[in-house]
Amino acid sequence: MKRFKLIYLIFFTVFIFPFDLPLGTDRSWSSNAWGSFSGHESYMSYSDTLVPTVYLVSVNDTVSPQSSCGFNVRQNRINKVIINVHNAENDSFTVDTRAFIDDNNHRIDYRNHVTMPCTIDVNVSNWPLGTDSLFIWAFDETTGDTAIPAPLNVDLCVLPQIRPCIEIVVPRQWQWIPCTEGDTTNYVPIWAHLVPECQDTIITQVEFRYSLNTPGPPWYYIGEVLDPDDGYWKIRWNNSGLVEGGDIVYLTAIGYNQYNRPDTSSMVKVVVYCQALNVQLSVEDIITTCFGIPKVAGLIDLRAFDDTTVEIYSMKFYHKLGSDPDIFRYWHYIGEGEQLSENVYIYRDFSTISLTQNVYYEFRAIAEDTAGNVMFDFDEDGLFDDSTFILALVQGSAKRIFVDNQAPQPAFSIAADSVSSIFNVNPSILLGGNGKAYVKAMDEIITGISVLPSGDTCDVSKAEYYGKGYGDTTQFYIGTSTYPYHFPINFEPISDGLIPPWQLEDGWWRGQIWALLYDSLDNSKADTINLFILDILPFQAIIVDPLNDSYVSSDVPMSVAILNPYEISQVIYQYKQQDSIEWKDILNGTSMEPDSFPITWQISDIPPGIYSLRAVARDSAGYADSIPPTIKVLLYRRGDANGDGIITIGDVVYIINYLYKNDPAPIPLVAGDTNCDGVVDVGDVVYLINYLFKSGSAPGC
């Protein structure tokens, strides 16, 4: 092998790099005078007073071979060979470095416009153990690329691998790394640390390098870090324009101790992938209410899908209260999803019952790919960053959902004996009633409920009605209503066979009825009142016009239904504002007309708002009803969209914000219908502007 190398060297020197010497030139071989290796035949170089001479400065900071085998080099390190040129007339050279491994010529490094001294990185990972030669030629660029007559021959003694003290821990072997592609949030994190066995080693600087598709050389400089952060030397690599999808990248770190001696880490092989994670989150079992509010209750499934071909390592799910700040410590870990198919994950049966009810929650899916990239982890600490929920929401990997495991509260608003004109209005204690209702035997009963809060009325799917007698242990089913708003139902307790006739032998029956309300999420809640079926009824006046929970905007005709009308001599109508405790007599609100005792409530001087109304009945002896039933109405003015009692440009702005900025609707909505066409749209804005500024007609029908 040595003979082959010598023949190859003579051929390569004479025919590949020809040179001419003038007549009379003294051509001789001499030992290299630089360093302590004089006399070692491997470091003989050609010396001529007219031609520069290339010589070795050091190998891995060592100026002499450590043994007869040569300079010690390790297979798992990048070894540094430093050369210089003696007697050079310029400072620019072309350097060609080759090795002869297994009788084959291998180019190790080739560089133009090199200044001296020059450092050559030599990777011997695939070299056999023992002595192998390294040949280094230099071209003097100022003399027409004439080669220095003889190459520098360096014998390297390849030693077995030893575990380095420096180790790359991020990214992991064979992970995917992203293309930066100008995106500063997608820089590749590279972390290195000391292995536990070397914790006493002092490292003053760590340098990071990479090579493409082959395990070097050449090795390209990434950057260097002086001080560790939390025990890690960290760098962020912007590989924009350097790599392409599918490239294999070899990463290495070189740690320098206090004596500037290098320690090279093992190589980490990674693959470049130029697609970013794009996770889409869907929450199954969502019900969208009639107000467009997404709601969930009970057990829900969280499903995440990544529509790229990025290889997913894990998919984790989190939640937090919508009112909590978007800070990581407020996010609660739900769990890791089960993989259904490629890049499709699901977390099943997450229970919302233990969560705070009737509030918004925020959910998100966080993916980590096999390259160790975590979604929205811009600071690369392995956790998604604060203040990224809105970004996740826009990209589809987050949801804001109302958690509602409680049905709206039903409240009996009427229990009426339509045949005998007996109207028990708002008998429920929840509506200010006394929890009692009176009806007449053998008559049809109409019952209905109000929904509290009223804004949830449209979420109600049905109301079921049940009853039972006082002291009974069994209940009877009355019926189910799906009719919206008050969910009324008609029944005849006797003829429908709900209660036996013999229970009326004493002239009355006492029991309970209750309404069990179900919302669209199948949550349920009930209200109960006491029901009395009597032959003798107390006197009472029930307001039947206007209707309970109705909207009024102009003078209101009022009338009552009465119990035992022959006993009532007059009815006094009264009102009070929602938050007031003082009842006031309606002006001219005393009626002595028989039957319905009608009046007209003039409301021109009464500000908009929610009012309670009642009719106080007096009998011929002057006794007044002590607990008259009440109803509620909402007084509004058409055109007063913001409900401040006056019509101004503020109402125009309010309607515009409702139409185009998803701001709250006028209360009630009909207040914004200024032109009385049955809808609130831009025509109402124009109508109101004409009224305010162009002497147009006032809002109203």
Q: What is the DSSP string of 51-111?
A: B-EEEEEEETTBSS-SBTTBEEEETTSEEEEEEEEES-SSS-EEEEEEEEETTEEEEEEEE
What residues pair up with 400 in beta bridges, in sequence order?
A: 362
pLDDT reading at 422 higher than 50: yes
**Placement of tokens 């030139």 in the chain:** 25
Nearest CA to 139 out of 191, 181, 97 is that of: 97
Confidence of residue 431 (pLDDT cuts 50, 70, 90): very high
Report the share of the chain in percent with pLDDT over 70. 88
Q: Which is nearest to 377 in space by CA: 627, 179, 189, 138?
A: 189
Residue 361: strand pairing partners: 321, 401
Please tell me the distance from the alpha carbon of residue 6 to that of residue 662, in angstroms, as a whole number: 87
What pLDDT does 119 receive? 92
- Give residue 423's pLDDT band: very low, low, confident or very high (50, 70, 90): confident
Listed in sequence order, the DSSP H helices in 646-697 are 649-660, 682-693
At residue 212, the 3 state secondary structure works out as strand
Going by pLDDT thresholds of 50, 70 and 90, the confidence category of residue 39 is: very low
Homologous superfamily assigned to 424-534 = SOR catalytic domain (2.60.40.730)
| Residues whose CB is less than 8 angstroms from the CB of residue 629 and which lie 6 or more positions away in sequence, other chains included | 423, 424, 425, 426, 427, 433, 540, 542, 543, 614
- Tell me yes or no: is domain 2-159 CATH 3.40.1190.20: no
Per-residue pLDDT, 7: 47
Q: Are 558 and 643 spatial neighbours (Cβ–Cβ below 8 Å)?
A: no
CB atoms within 10 A of CB 378: 13
Could you please state the CATH topology (level 3) that the domain comprising 540-635 is classified under.
Answer: Immunoglobulin-like (2.60.40)
- Look at residue 34 and tell me whether its pLDDT is greater than 70: no
DSSP string, 447-490: EEEEEESGGGGGGEEEEEEEEEETT-S--EEEEEE--TTT--EE
Q: Measured in Å, how far apart are the chain's first and last C-alpha atoms?
A: 111
- Residue 431, classed as helix, strand or coil, is helix
The pTM of the whole model exceeds 0.75: no
Strand partners, 272: 177
**At 6, is the secondary structure helix, strand, or coil?**
helix
Q: Is the dihedral of CA 282, 286, 288, 294 positive or negative?
A: negative
- Rounded Cα–Cα distance for residues 625 and 616 (Å): 6
Q: Which residue has the tokens 């019926």?
A: 479
Provide the 3-class DSSP secondary structure of residue 551.
Answer: strand
CATH architecture of 279-403: Sandwich (2.60)
279-403 and 2-159 share a CATH fold:
yes
The contacts of residue 620 (CB under 8 Å, 6+ apart) are: 567, 569
Say if residues 241 and 262 touch (Cβ distance below 8 Å): no
Cβ count near 142 (within 10 Å): 13
pLDDT computed for residue 44 by the predictor:
42
Tell me what percent of the residues of the chain surpass a pLDDT of 90: 35
* Reported confidence tier of residue 567, pLDDT bands at 50, 70, 90: low
The CATH number, out of the four listed (2.60.120.10, 2.40.30.200, 2.60.40.10, 3.40.50.300), of the domain defined by the range 166-273: 2.60.40.10
Distance CA 574, CA 473 (A): 42
- Cα–Cα distance, 631 to 546 (Å, whole number): 9
pLDDT surpassing 60 at residue 232:
yes
What is the crossing angle of helices 649-660 and 682-693, to 10°?
170
**Cα–Cα dist 458/480, whole Å:** 17
- So where are the chain's domains? 2-159, 166-273, 279-403, 424-534, 540-635, 649-693
pLDDT band at 143 (very low <50, low <70, confident <90, very high): low
Amino acid at 378: F
Give 358-407 pLDDT, tens digit per residue: 899 999 999 987 767 788 887 767 889 899 898 899 889 999 999 988 88
pLDDT in tens, 495-554: 788 887 777 655 678 899 999 999 888 889 999 999 988 754 456 788 989 988 888 888
527: Cβ–Cβ under 8 A, 6 or more apart, which residues? 409, 410, 411, 412, 428, 430, 449, 514, 515, 517
Give residue 33's pLDDT: 30
* Beta-bridge partners for 221: 209
- Cβ neighbours for 26, distance < 8 A, ≥ 6 positions apart: 48, 49
Q: What pLDDT score was predicted for residue 167?
A: 92
